[in-house]
């Protein structure tokens, strides 16, 4: 039983699920493939009926979707509700805008006329993580189903009830059999589905190691892929920042979802002039957070998603300290049931420390003080990752200049608000390639076909 729903706040197993048999596996692929031949011929308006209905169901049943998320991976219930609502808005966004995004684009050749048209490519295989059990699914389902593709998704093994609920959502919305398929499959079956000629693309959100493995397999099969592989985002604080505003974002940016967010603020880079004041207020705000039942609205700190995630993070912190880093606060698990970790700040992380290049996926912040703006940018760019980042300054023009110089896929000025369906999401370097959401997100798995009409004599 590799798919297990376990409450990380209590350590109690809720339910276990068996992997599907090879016979069921083949049947599901065949059903999805047959569905594509019908779905691809539907008009945008016909597709939008199903996708908009799924959005409406999520909006109407927020608590029904939010509760299993909190029980399975520990997301605080208020955050869980917010994720359900955002997921609904993503589906609604693509139901409304897909036809416009994929409309033919007129070109202007020297002779005749030409245009680019977009068409679906087939069955897309998605591999998605546990940290946003619905949002991760909605941001592939909304665009790619509206584009005329169909989806088969292997979700994380620790959130099977969320995965099953999202598949049921499409059935309840009136989707044809095979339009969206949840796969409780093994890693071996996952490899086989990428090799299968009926699968035309691969979308992954996960670790760098998983990205390398799946991208290599997709490449071997000459299949298009998109990869979102996490990050170690810089949170740059310049000397003219609004300190109160900045600290609030620092706490949210590091502690939202118990710090288990790809584009969370992870490296706090503060100009010397403001460093001590920032660190004092940031530390005090983190210390004020209290662990508790994530189903309780009053809880300000939830558990990590699994016990193994907590154990791995504690080992990471210990390893950083062994190489010279200092623990300013935290660094240990709470003495209570469940997989709870103290908010932690690491300082004195030098370049020869492996932690300098690591991603800490949990409530661990690395703090760096720098001389000036140029030093902050240099440190921000000294990373194997390039997902997102932020800069805080009262001078917006200055903030834009800094944003342009930081090597990432996304930069935020005086905020870290990525939760808008219209904003493309993705990174560079070890953070992967491709974009999700916005106009760009629907372009990843479509054929861009050139059509030219011209009365031309053939060359002699």
Query: Residue 141 belongs to a domain with what CATH number?
Result: 3.40.605.10
Residue 418, in any domain of the structure: no
Please report the pLDDT score of residue 305 as a whole number: 97
pLDDT reading at 49 higher than 80: yes
Please report the pLDDT score of residue 231 as a whole number: 96
Residue 149: give the domain boundaries.
Answer: 3-229+431-451
- CATH number of the domain where residue 270 is located: 3.40.309.10
Residue 274, in any domain of the structure: yes
pLDDT tens digits, residue range 131-171? Answer: 999 999 999 999 999 999 999 999 999 999 999 999 999 99
Residue with tokens 């240099």: 378
DSSP code for 131: S
How far is 258 from 343, CA to CA, in rounded Å? 9
Residue 393, in any domain of the structure: yes
| Structural contact between residues 171 and 182, judged by C-beta atoms closer than 8 angstroms | no
Which of 257, 256, 270, 232 has its CA nearest to residue 427? 232
Which of 323, 379, 329 has its CA nearest to residue 355? 323
pLDDT tens digits, residue range 448-457? Answer: 999 999 999 9
pLDDT tens digits, residue range 233-252? Answer: 999 999 999 999 999 999 99
Please report the pLDDT score of residue 419 as a whole number: 86
| Local confidence band at 2 (pLDDT 50, 70, 90 cut-offs) | confident
- 211 and 244 share a domain? no
Please report the pLDDT score of residue 196 as a whole number: 98
- 213 and 306 share a domain? no
Report the alpha-carbon angle 308-314-318, nearest 5. 145
Given the residues 262, 342, 359, 444, the one annotated as active site:
262
Domain count, the chain: 2
Q: Is 198 exposed, middle or buried (0-12, 13-18, 19+ CB in 10 A)?
A: middle
- 54 and 110 share a domain? yes
| Local confidence band at 273 (pLDDT 50, 70, 90 cut-offs) | very high
Please report the pLDDT score of residue 460 as a whole number: 85
b/e burial code for range 56-81 (CB count within 10 A of at least 16 → b):
ebbbeebeebbbbbbbbbbbbbebbb
Residue 425, in any domain of the structure: no
pLDDT reading at 34 higher than 60: yes
Residue 420, in any domain of the structure: no
- 191 and 64 share a domain? yes
**Dihedral sign, Cα of residue 275, residue 280, residue 285, residue 290:** positive
Instruction: For residues 400-428, give the mean pLDDT.
Output: 97
Which of 411, 371, 417, 374 has its CA nearest to residue 391? 411
Please report the pLDDT score of residue 442 as a whole number: 98
pLDDT reading at 1 higher than 70: no
pLDDT reading at 327 higher than 80: yes
Residue 323, in any domain of the structure: yes
62's tokens: 């927020």
How far is 126 from 130, CA to CA, in rounded Å? 13
- 211 and 77 share a domain? yes
Please report the pLDDT score of residue 331 as a whole number: 97
pLDDT tens digits, residue range 112-137? Answer: 999 999 999 999 999 999 999 999 99
Chain centre distance of CA 5: 21
Which of 54, 44, 29, 30 has its CA nearest to residue 175? 54
- 261 and 393 share a domain? yes
Mean pLDDT for the chain overall:
97
Given the residues 79, 128, 167, 228, the one annotated as active site:
228
CA distances from residue 431 to 105, 218, 343, 350, 381 in whole angstroms, order as listed? 31, 17, 25, 22, 13
- 404 and 314 share a domain? yes
- 7 and 132 share a domain? yes
- 261 and 407 share a domain? yes
- 155 and 260 share a domain? no
Please report the pLDDT score of residue 361 as a whole number: 97
Residue 386, in any domain of the structure: yes
- 179 and 324 share a domain? no
Residue 422, in any domain of the structure: no
pLDDT tens digits, residue range 6-20? Answer: 999 999 999 999 999
- 242 and 265 share a domain? yes
Percentage of residues of the chain with pLDDT beyond 70:
100
In this structure, what are the phi and psi dihedrals at residue 89, rounded to the nearest 5 degrees?
Answer: -65, -30
- Known active-site residue 83: no
pLDDT reading at 189 higher than 60: yes
- Known active-site residue 228: yes
pTM over the 0.85 mark: yes
């Amino acid at each position: 039983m590799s798919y297990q729903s376990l409450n990380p706040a209590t350590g109690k197993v809720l339910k276990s699920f068996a992997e599907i048999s090879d016979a069921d596996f083949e049947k599901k692929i065949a059903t999805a493939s047959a569905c594509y031949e019908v779905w691809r011929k539907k008009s945008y308006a016909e597709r939008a009926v199903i996708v908009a209905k799924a959005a409406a169901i999520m909006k109407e049943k927020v608590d029904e979707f939010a509760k299993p998320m909190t029980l399975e991976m520990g997301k605080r219930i208020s955050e869980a509700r917010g994720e359900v609502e955002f997921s609904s808005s993503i589906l609604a966004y693509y139901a409304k805008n897909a036809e416009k995004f994929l409309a033919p684009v007129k070109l202007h050749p020297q002779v005749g006329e030409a245009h680019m048209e977009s068409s679906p490519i087939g069955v897309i295989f998605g591999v998605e993580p546990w940290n946003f059990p619905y949002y991760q699914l909605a941001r592939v389902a909304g665009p790619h189903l509206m584009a005329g593709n169909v989806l088969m998704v292997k979700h994380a093994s620790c959130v099977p009830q969320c995965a099953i609920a999202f598949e049921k959502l499409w059935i309840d919305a009136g989707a044809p059999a095979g339009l969206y398929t949840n796969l409780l499959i093994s890693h071996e079956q996952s490899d086989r589905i990428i090799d299968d000629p009926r699968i035309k693309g691969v979308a992954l959100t996960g670790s760098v190691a998983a990205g390398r493995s799946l991208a290599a397999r997709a490449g071997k099969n000459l299949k298009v892929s998109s990869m979102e592989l996490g990050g170690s985002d810089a949170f740059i604080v310049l000397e003219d920042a609004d300190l109160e505003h900045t600290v609030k974002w620092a706490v949210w940016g590091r502690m939202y979802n118990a710090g288990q967010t790809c584009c969370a603020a992870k490296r706090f880079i503060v100009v010397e002039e403001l460093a001590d004041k920032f660190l004092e207020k940031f530390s005090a705000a983190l210390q004020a957070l209290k662990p508790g039942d994530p189903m309780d609205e009053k809880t300000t700190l939830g558990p990590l998603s699994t016990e193994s995630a907590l154990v791995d993070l504690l080992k990471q912190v210990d390893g950083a300290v062994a190489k010279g880093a200092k623990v300013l606060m935290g660094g240990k698990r709470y003495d209570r049931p469940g997989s709870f970790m103290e908010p932690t700040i690491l300082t004195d992380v030098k370049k020869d420390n492996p932690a300098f290049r690591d991603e800490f996926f949990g409530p661990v912040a690395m703090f760096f003080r720098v001389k000036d703006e140029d030093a902050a940018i240099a440190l921000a760019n000294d990373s194997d990752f390039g997902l997102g980042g932020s800069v805080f300054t009262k001078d917006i023009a200055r903030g834009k200049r800094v944003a342009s110089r930081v090597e990432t896929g996304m930069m935020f000025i005086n905020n870290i608000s990525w939760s808008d369906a219209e904003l493309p999401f993705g990174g560079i370097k070890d953070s992967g390639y491709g974009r999700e959401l916005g106009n760009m997100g629907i372009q990843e798995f479509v054929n861009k076909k050139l059509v030219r009409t011209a009365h031309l004599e053939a060359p002699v």
